A = this chain, B = another copy of it.
């Protein structure tokens, strides 16, 4: 399973994974979806929405997105069931500053925090290159990547070396597996987001989107691999 393809084909396909496949084990890092986000139009013109919450465990513990404010108790319970204290979370990343993604960042006062392009620890903000398009590496396996377009200041978290290959926790860069008819309506800059999406597809084997189940990325030349189970 080869991400960062050297000779990219022009077309990538996104393929749903089974609903039950929410964990991507690896060494040294594993990635788990704690809550699958959703976006559901209602008959009265409103829509119900929540952002996907993901957890990266290994030498460091990284929580990617914290859901909406209403997810507070769910988040506490889910982490507790995994044997994790709030203090054991080293990094909290808010992929962008929308309320359904950054609702619970105050549960982790000891963690280093990234929201969009801002990197902070307590009220101390560190200079970084995210706004200039530079990745911000937490270590050699986990990297925060600027992927602008949806809100203007968006990041994704790339985890290399899982058994499923390179996993990208993308926030709302992707809404869900089949979002071709929806993502543009939610984008602040469609052209910029399209570039971010194509780069994400080129360099990822699995993408965990902001409002849906994880999906697999295959290129046209490997499309026959579709039937292969993830190992």
A residues whose Cβ falls under 8 Å from a Cβ of B: 42, 45-50, 68-70, 72, 94, 96-100, 102-109, 113, 115-116, 118, 120, 122-127, 151-153, 188
Q: How many copies does the complex hold?
A: 2
Taking A70-B106, A99-B120 as known contacts, 10 extra A-B pairs with beta carbons closer than 8 A to each other, sorted by chain A number, are: A45-B127, A46-B127, A48-B125, A69-B105, A97-B97, A97-B115, A99-B118, A100-B125, A104-B106, A152-B188
B residues in contact with A151, CB < 8 Å: 97, 116, 152-153
B residues in contact with A126, CB < 8 Å: 46
Q: Verify B106–A103 contact, CB threshold 8 A.
A: yes
B residues in contact with A105, CB < 8 Å: 69, 99, 102-103
Q: Verify A70–B109 contact, CB threshold 8 A.
A: yes
What are 22 inter-chain pairs, A to B, with CB distance below 8 A?
A42-B124, A46-B124, A46-B125, A47-B124, A48-B123, A49-B125, A69-B105, A69-B106, A69-B109, A69-B113, A70-B122, A96-B97, A97-B97, A97-B151, A99-B102, A100-B120, A100-B123, A102-B105, A103-B106, A151-B153, A152-B152, A152-B188
Among residues of B, the one whose C-beta sits closest to the C-beta of A72 is B106
B residues in contact with A124, CB < 8 Å: 42, 46-48
Q: Please pick, from B72, B108, B116, the residue contacting A97 in the complex, using a CB distance under 8 A.
A: B116
CA A103 to CA B152, docked complex, whole Å: 19
CA A68 to CA B105, docked complex, whole Å: 9
Q: Please pick, from B98, B116, B122, B152, the residue contacting A118 in the complex, using a CB distance under 8 A.
A: B98
B residues in contact with A102, CB < 8 Å: 97, 99, 102, 105
Q: Verify B113–A99 contact, CB threshold 8 A.
A: yes
B residues in contact with A97, CB < 8 Å: 94, 96-99, 102, 115-116, 151, 153
B residues in contact with A152, CB < 8 Å: 151-153, 188
Residue from A48, A115, A188 whose CB has the most chain B CB atoms within 10 Å:
A115
